[in-house]
């Protein structure tokens, strides 16, 4: 068993542990002094939570399993309030810990619940999906949704550690796994073009947990996230590059009422951001074509319906990158070179979307 450790630096450094069959590493991430561990997991996946709880109990901790709804249905203030009440009933103190087990929505919720209980208790994330491993669980951004938008309520609360057991990816539904590839591909365009070459070398293998380049793709994307959030936890500058493709993506998720996979929305959002970059004179058509080609090769969508534009435009006004009334996008100046595009003219926004709806 080969174990990799990627360090996330900053005020509160922690490790992302990566390997197959690595649950035995979990007690070491929890550390000493912890008595009770609340394990938050999707109610529909007890078979995923069971071995995690077993590893924690075997190390001498008291375990409190707390099932929550699946996916984005978990990320509500009502579910968060239920967790706070459970923390109170089971006597979770500042010296105890929370473990989030599941996809990105579950780790977002677990992190938020831990950040807000007693003004912050220790959290360890155990992502079990590709999206969770390469993006959501790493970085300390936690949050829940409101009727007005996604992740508008949240906090920055770095975990004490992240455990990525690659064995769990075998049971992830194929469409969910492919959705997670969008975040990896995003990393290739904004920071590490070697990712793009690996996918182009074996697009069919990229769709599989057992693919030739799977582990390298995962580790490269986690390293990007670690480097960025270690330098800029609170999204004051550099971290904004991670939002490439997300402005339109979050609007699409709202229109779809979160029935579309996050990665699918991000894939469409990346095409839109690339078209914005091209139409603004920053990149050539070759980069846009490569974006479409790579996304299509792994089975991700690259277009969205034309009649949705007015509603999408309205939702984008509440994007977290906006400053006052000015909308901000992350765009490409070249491969691995990004910059903000602030307050673009409406004609540019519409022209780029016309390309997406084509």
Distance between CA atoms of residues 161 and 313, nearest Å: 38
Rounded mean pLDDT for each run of 10 residues along the chain, 358 residues in total = 90 94 94 93 92 95 96 94 98 96 95 97 96 91 88 92 95 94 98 98 97 97 92 72 94 93 97 98 98 98 97 84 74 96 96 96
Structure tokens at 89: 């009933």
Instruction: Based on the fold, state whether residues 25 and 159 are members of the same structural domain.
Output: yes
pTM over 0.75: yes
Annotated binding site: 70-75, 104-108, 128-129, 141, 150, 183, 246, 262
Instruction: Based on the fold, state whether residues 211 and 159 are members of the same structural domain.
Output: no
| CATH assignment at residue 34 | 3.40.50.1970
Annotated binding site for Zn(2+): 183, 246, 262
Cβ-based neighbour number of residue 323 at 10 Å: 10
Instruction: Based on the fold, state whether residues 179 and 85 are members of the same structural domain.
Output: no
Angle between helical axes of 285-297 and 194-201 (0-180°, round to 10): 50
| Cα dist from 316 to 48, 129, 311, 345, whole Å | 36, 27, 9, 14
Instruction: Based on the fold, state whether residues 194 and 275 are members of the same structural domain.
Output: yes
Cβ-based neighbour number of residue 129 at 10 Å: 27
Instruction: Based on the fold, state whether residues 182 and 106 are members of the same structural domain.
Output: no
| CATH assignment at residue 281 | 1.20.1090.10
Instruction: Based on the fold, state whether residues 193 and 121 are members of the same structural domain.
Output: no
Residue where a domain terminates, one of 114, 143, 171: 171
- Residues marked as catalytic: 119, 141, 183, 225, 235, 239, 243, 246, 250, 262
Instruction: Based on the fold, state whether residues 181 and 301 are members of the same structural domain.
Output: yes
Domain residue limits at 203: 174-357
Residue where a domain terminates, one of 125, 150, 171: 171
Secondary structure of residue 252 in the 3-state scheme: helix
Instruction: Based on the fold, state whether residues 200 and 162 are members of the same structural domain.
Output: no
Instruction: Based on the fold, state whether residues 167 and 194 are members of the same structural domain.
Output: no
Overall number of domains in the chain: 2
Q: Residue 298 CA to chain centroid, in angstroms?
A: 19
Question: What's the pLDDT at 152?
Answer: 87
């Amino acid at each position: 068993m080969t174990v990799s450790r990627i360090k996330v630096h900053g005020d509160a450094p922690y490790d992302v542990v990566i390997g197959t069959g690595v649950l035995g590493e979990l007690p070491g991430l929890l550390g000493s002094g912890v008595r009770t561990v609340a394990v938050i997991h999707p109610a529909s996946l007890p078979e995923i939570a069971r071995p995690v709880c077993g590893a924690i109990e075997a190390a001498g901790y008291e375990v409190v399993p707390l099932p929550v709804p699946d996916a984005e249905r978990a990320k509500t203030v009502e579910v968060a309030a239920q967790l706070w009440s459970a923390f109170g009933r089971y006597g979770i103190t500042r010296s105890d810990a929370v473990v989030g087990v599941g996809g990105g929505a579950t780790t977002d919720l677990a992190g938020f619940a831990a950040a807000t209980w007693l003004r912050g208790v220790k959290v360890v994330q155990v992502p079990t999906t590709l999206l969770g491993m390469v993006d959501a669980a790493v970085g300390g951004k936690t949050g829940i949704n409101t009727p007005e938008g996604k992740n508008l309520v949240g906090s920055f609360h770095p975990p004490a550690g992240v455990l990525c057991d690659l064995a769990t990816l075998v049971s992830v539904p194929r469409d969910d796994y492919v959705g997670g590839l969008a975040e990896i591909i995003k990393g290739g365009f904004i920071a590490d073009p070697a990712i793009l070459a690996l996918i182009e070398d074996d697009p069919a293998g990229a769709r599989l947990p057992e693919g030739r380049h799977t582990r390298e793709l995962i580790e490269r994307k986690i390293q990007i996230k670690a480097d960025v959030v270690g330098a800029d936890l609170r999204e004051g500058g550099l971290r904004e590059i991670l939002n490439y493709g997300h402005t339109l993506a979050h609007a699409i998720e709202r229109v779809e009422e979160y029935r579309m996979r996050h990665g699918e929305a991000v894939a469409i959002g990346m095409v839109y951001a690339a078209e914005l970059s091209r139409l603004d004179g920053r990149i050539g058509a070759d980069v846009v074509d490569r974006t479409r080609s790579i996304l299509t090769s792994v089975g991700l969508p690259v277009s969205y319906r034309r009649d949705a534009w007015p509603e999408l435009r309205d939702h984008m006004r509440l994007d977290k990158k906006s400053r006052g009334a000015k909308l901000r996008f992350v765009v490409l100046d070249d491969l691995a070179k990004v910059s903000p595009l602030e307050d673009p003219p409406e004609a540019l926004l519409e022209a780029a979307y016309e390309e997406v709806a084509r």
